[in-house]
Amino acid sequence: DAKTTQPPSMDCAEGRAANLPCNHSTISGNEYVYWYRQIHSQGPQYIIHGLKNNETNEMASLIITEDRKSSTLILPHATLRDTAVYYCIVLSQGGSEKLVFGKGMKLTVNP
Amino acid sequence: NAGVTQTPKFQVLKTGQSMTLQCAQDMNHEYMSWYRQDPGMGLRLIHYSVGAGITDQGEVPNGYNVSRSTTEDFPLRLLSAAPSQTSVYFCASRRTGSHYGYTFGSGTRLTVV
């Protein structure tokens, strides 16, 4: 599975959109991009995933570039409860179930 | 639905002791996994299962055993605890199919002294 690169941390003002970048330049055609987050010592929480089209659910939107080498997770109206470590993971469907979490990116939402 | 339930939440073991971390899910999920998380690190996969009777090793399997006799339960056994196994352990499960992410339990914090 391809590796991902995320900045170590980011700040965002409460109520503003948080745009979390992820680079996955070695992604292959059958690999999906998954996003999870972990709020202070809790178990990780699944947010969203996508292959090549943009995706949206009740939590967030996922924008994947046309060449699929990078993506952006968008939290449209960040709240203090969105402060967490966010993990961008690339995983091939139908292959191994081995999520590789890496160190993720700490998002701090400030009042 | 209770989701993914892990017990105990906290445990202190002496070096050399054995114990079983319990994980149960009531969502009829086929896939289940065990991860450990050390301070300041991401999660690392220990063992996983794609269905009852089927298990496989992850990234850090040494010192741990698993079995999957039912869809609901996926216990993790520490055979002879070592201080290096001090960690937070998370169990996770998901449905079969490409459209689903994993649901994680709240974790077991284990200290080996």
Could you report the per-residue pLDDT of A27-66, keeping only the tens digit for each? Answer: 988 888 999 999 988 999 999 999 998 999 999 999 999 9
Each residue's pLDDT tens digit, B58-72 = 999 999 999 999 999
Instruction: State the pLDDT at residue B34.
Output: 97
Of the candidates B93, B94, B108, the residue with the CA atom closest to the CA atom of residue B36: B108
| Average pLDDT value over all residues in chain A | 92
Stretch among A29-38, A46-55, A86-95, B5-14 having the lowest mean pLDDT? A86-95
Work out the percent of chain B whose per-residue pLDDT is above 70. Answer: 97
Among chain A residues, CA nearest to B55: A97
Instruction: State the pLDDT at residue A77.
Output: 95
Amino acid in position B9? K
> CA of A104: how far to CAs of A83, A84, A86, B42, in Å?
13, 10, 5, 7
Of the candidates A45, A48, A51, A43, the residue with the CA atom closest to the CA atom of residue A94: A51
| Average pLDDT value over all residues in chain B | 94
Chain B: closest CA distance from residue A77 (Å): 23
Work out the percent of chain B whose per-residue pLDDT is above 90. Answer: 88
HSE-up of B89 (CA within 13 Å, CB side)? 32
Instruction: State the pLDDT at residue A1.
Output: 59
Choose among B45, B88, B105: nearest Cβ to A98. B45
User: Taking residues B21-26, what's their average pLDDT?
Assistant: 97
Instruction: State the pLDDT at residue A53.
Output: 84
Each residue's pLDDT tens digit, A12-30 = 999 999 999 999 999 988 8
Q: Looking at the complex, does the CB of residue B58 fall below 8 Å from at least one CB of chain A?
A: yes
